[in-house]
Amino acid sequence: MTAHQPIHPPEQVQFQRSELNAILRLYGRMVAAGEWRDYGISALRDVAIFSVFRRTAEQPMYRIEKRPKLAARQGQYSVIGMDGRILRRGHDLQQVLRVLERKLIRPVD
C-alpha cells in the first residue's frame, strides 16, 4: 500500500483587507459621483481581479489586478481599461489607483 497525500486545490490570489479597503474607498467615491454602479471580485490561481461596471450587464470599464508573480519586475498591481490597455502598473496600490482618481476630477466647462 502506498500512502496518499491529501489533494489540495491550487492556492488562489486574493486581495488583502488593506488592499480591498483602498479599492473600496475609491469605489465609494466613484459611486457617489455617479460614475460606477457595480463591481465583481475574482480570485484565481495567478491573479485577483476587482472589476468595475457602469451597468451590471456590461463588460467591466476597468479591472484592478493583483499578480504577485510580477512583484519583482514591473509591479504586482495594474489598472486595465475596457479595451485591454494597461493604464498604470506598479508596486504601490495607492499610486496605481490614482490613474482612476484623476477621472473624478474633471475640468468645469
- Residue-by-residue DSSP string for 37-104: -EEEEEE-SS-EEEEEESSTTSPPSEEEEE-GGGTTTT-SEEEEETTS-EEEEES-HHHHHHHHHTTT
Range of the structural domain that residue 71 is part of: 17-101
Domain presence at residue 66: yes
Give me the pLDDT at residue 54, please.
Answer: 86
Domain presence at residue 3: no
pTM of the model: 0.83
Number of separate domains in the chain: 1
Q: 70 is written with which cell numbers?
A: 510580477
Domain presence at residue 96: yes
Domain presence at residue 38: yes
Domain presence at residue 4: no
d(CA 9, CA 7): 7
Domain presence at residue 107: no
Kindly list the averaged pLDDT for each block of 10 residues, start to end, along the chain of length 109: 57 93 96 92 95 83 95 93 94 95 61
